[in-house]
C-alpha cells in the first residue's frame, strides 16, 4: 500500500525505489512515535465529532496492538509500503475496514512525519544529555582525583606554563555544560506541536490542535501551519549543529589523548586490552579508540553544512528532498552516542603519570611564575620579563619549586563545586 499512489496507476519500480530510498530502514525508529501521535489524533477526532467513540476505541486498540509488535521487534515494513505511515494505516484498515481508512482524516503525511520526528528527536536529545552527564561525572571524578598532579601546558605546541590533570579534566567537564545548553535549545525547538498543519496549509475540519499538544506532551503549539512545515529540515540542521559542537569537544579531547599517550609526551597510558597493536611492530600500543572517536566526530562536524546545502534555496511549502534529512541525522545520533559511550568507558581506565615536571625539559614551564615573583618584589613587569629572559638565554634560570596559583579556575583553585553547580543548573532546564 502506497498512500500517495494515484488510483489505477502503478509507479514504475525504479521510480519507486529511488523516491522511497532508505525510508523503510529509518522509519522503523519512527514507528512508536507515529503510533503515539496517531492515537492522540484519533482521540482528538472523536472529541470534535469527526469519529464516533466506538471508532476511536477501535483505532486506539489497533494502534496499541501495533505498538506491542514494535516493542517485541516483530513490526516490519516490506517493500509493499513506502514508509511507516502507510504500513500503519494498512494494518488498521486490514483489521477494521473503513474505520482504519478514517485515521488519516484532517492530517497529511507531512505533519505525520513532523510530529513523529519531533517526538523522536526529543527523546534522543534526552538520551544524549544523559550520556553527556555520565561523561561529565567521569571528568569531574578524575579532576578531583588528580587535582594535585602537575603537567605542562602548551601553546603553539610549545611548552608554556604549568597545568594539572585536575585542570585538564575539569576543563572538558565545564565545556560539557555549554554543550548541554545547545542541546536544551534544540529540545525547546522540537517541543512545539506541528500536528494539524496537514500538508502545510491546515484543514477545513474543526480539529483541536491544543488537545493533541497536551496529549502528546508538547510544551507549546507551532501555531502557523506554514511555519510548522518550514521547521522540517531546520530542526534536523539545528540538532546537527548541537551534535557537531559536542563532537568538536570530543574530537579535541581525543586529540589530547593521542598526543599525551605518545612516547614524546608520555603523560598518560591505558591498559593493553583497550589499545591495539601492530601487525609487524610488537611494541605498539595504539590509541585506535580515540583516533576513531576523533575521525567520527570530525565527520559529525561536517553534517550541519551538508544539511544546510540540502535546504538551500527551497521556497516555503513541502519538497520531497526534505526526506533526505532523516537518515543523516539519525546516523549522527547513533554516532555521537557511540562516541560518548566509548569515551566514558575508556577514560575511566586512564593511567596518569606522576612527577612529569621534574624532567629537565620542562624547566622553563615555570618562567612566568618566576617573573611574577620578581613583580611581587616591586620589579616592573617589563623589567622582570627582560631579567627572566636574560637568565634563560644564559642558562642561569632557576625555576620556582612550586607554582602558586590561587585565583578561581586556576590549578590551585579548580572551583569543582561551582562547575558542578553550573552543569546541574543547565542540565535540569
List the grid coordinates of 229: 512545515
Burial tier of 57 (Cβ tally within 10 Å: 0-12, 13-18, 19+): middle
Q: What is the pTM of this model?
A: 0.92
List the grid coordinates of 181: 545548553
Contact between 338 and 281 (Cβ < 8 Å): no
Q: How far apart are the first and last CA of the chain?
A: 43
Mean pLDDT of the 94-117 span: 95
Q: What is the pLDDT of residue 273?
A: 81
**Cα separation, 387 vs 149, whole angstroms:** 29
* Tens digits of residue pLDDT in 151-174: 999 999 999 999 999 999 999 999
* Tens digits of residue pLDDT in 175-225: 999 999 999 999 999 999 999 999 999 999 999 999 999 999 999 999 999
**Cα separation, 327 vs 22, whole angstroms:** 8
Work out the pLDDT band at 13, boundaries 50, 70, 90: low
Q: In 3-state terms, what secondary structure has residue 150?
A: strand
Residues near 427 by beta carbon (within 8 Å), at least 6 away in sequence: 129, 133, 177, 180
Backbone angles phi, psi at 153, to 5 degrees: -90, 155
Q: What is the pLDDT of residue 64?
A: 98
Looking at per-residue confidence, does 324 or 16 come out higher? 324
Residues near 280 by beta carbon (within 8 Å), at least 6 away in sequence: none
The domains located in the chain, with CATH, are 13-105 (1.10.275.10), 110-142+165-357 (1.20.200.10), 360-427 (no CATH)
Counting other chains too, the contacts that 169-172 makes at CB distance below 8 Å and 24 or more residues apart are: 169/139, 169/140, 169/142, 169/143, 170/139, 170/140, 170/143, 170/414, 170/416, 170/419, 172/139, 172/249, 172/253
* Tens digits of residue pLDDT in 385-407: 999 999 999 999 988 877 688 89
* Tens digits of residue pLDDT in 215-250: 999 999 999 999 999 999 999 999 999 999 999 999
Q: What is the mean pLDDT of the chain?
A: 91
**Cα separation, 36 vs 119, whole angstroms:** 9
Residues near 8 by beta carbon (within 8 Å), at least 6 away in sequence: none
**Cα separation, 215 vs 205, whole angstroms:** 19
Amino acid at each position: 500500500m502506497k498512500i500517495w499512489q494515484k488510483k489505477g496507476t502503478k509507479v514504475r519500480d525504479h521510480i519507486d525505489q529511488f523516491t522511497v530510498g532508505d525510508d523503510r530502514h529509518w522509519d522503523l525508529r519512527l514507528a512508536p512515535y507515529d503510533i503515539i501521535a496517531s492515537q492522540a489524533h484519533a482521540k482528538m477526532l472523536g472529541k470534535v465529532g469527526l469519529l464516533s467513540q466506538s471508532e476511536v476505541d477501535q483505532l486506539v486498540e489497533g494502534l496499541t496492538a501495533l505498538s506491542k509488535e514494535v516493542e517485541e521487534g516483530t513490526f516490519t515494513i516490506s517493500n509493499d509500503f513506502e514508509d511507516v505511515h502507510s504500513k500503519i494505516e494498512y494494518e488498521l484498515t486490514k483489521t477494521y475496514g473503513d474505520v482504519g481508512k478514517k485515521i488519516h482524516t484532517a492530517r497529511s503525511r507531512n505533519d505525520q512525519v513532523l510530529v513523529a520526528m519531533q517526538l523522536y528527536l526529543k527523546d534522543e536529545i534526552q538520551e544524549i544529555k544523559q550520556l553527556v552527564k555520565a561523561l561529565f561525572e567521569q571528568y569531574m571524578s578524575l579532576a578531583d582525583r588528580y587535582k594535585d598532579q602537575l603537567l605542562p601546558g602548551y601553546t603553539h605546541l610549545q611548552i608554556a606554563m604549568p597545568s594539572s590533570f585536575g585542570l585538564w579534566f575539569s576543563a572538558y567537564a565545564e565545556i560539557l555544560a555549554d554543550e548541554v545548553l545547545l542541546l536544551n535549545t534544540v529540545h525547546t525547538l522540537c517541543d512545539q506541536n506541528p500536528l494539524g498543519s496537514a500538508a502545510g496549509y491546515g484543514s477545513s475540519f474543526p480539529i483541536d490542535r491544543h488537545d493533541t499538544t497536551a496529549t502528546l506532551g508538547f510544551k507549546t503549539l507551532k501555531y502557523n501551519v506554514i511555519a510548522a512545515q518550514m521547521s522540517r529540515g531546520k530542526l534536523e540542521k539545528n540538532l546537527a549543529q548541537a551534535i557537531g559542537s559536542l563532537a568538536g569537544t570530543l574530537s579535541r579531547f581525543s586529540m589530547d589523548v593521542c598526543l599525551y599517550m605518545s612516547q614524546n609526551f608520555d603523560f598518560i597510558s591505558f591498559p593493553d586490552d583497550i589499545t591495539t597493536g601492530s601487525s609487524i611492530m610488537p611494541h605498539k600500543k595504539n590509541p585506535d579508540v580515540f583516533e576513531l572517536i576523533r575521525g567520527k566526530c570530525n565527520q559529525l562536524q561536517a553534517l550541519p553544512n551538508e544539511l544546510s546545502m540540502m535546504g538551500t534555496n527551497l521556497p516555503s511549502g513541502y519538497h520531497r528532498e526534505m526526506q533526505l534529512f532523516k537518515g543523516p541525522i539519525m546516523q549522527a545520533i547513533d554516532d555521537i552516542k557511540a562516541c560518548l559511550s566509548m569515551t566514558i568507558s575508556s577514560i575511566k581506565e586512564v593511567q596518569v603519570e606522576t612527577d612529569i615536571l621534574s624532567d629537565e625539559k620542562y624547566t622553563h614551564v615555570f618562567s612566568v611564575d618566576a617573573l611574577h615573583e620578581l613583580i611581587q618584589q616591586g620589579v616592573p613587569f617589563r623589567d622582570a620579563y627582560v631579567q627572566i629572559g636574560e637568565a634563560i638565554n644564559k642558562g642561569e634560570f632557576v625555576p620556582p619549586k612550586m607554582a602558586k596559583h590561587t585565583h578561581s579556575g586556576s590549578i590551585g583553585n579548580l572551583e569543582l563545586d561551582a562547575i558542578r553547580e553550573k552543569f546541574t543548573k543547565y542540565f535540569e532546564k
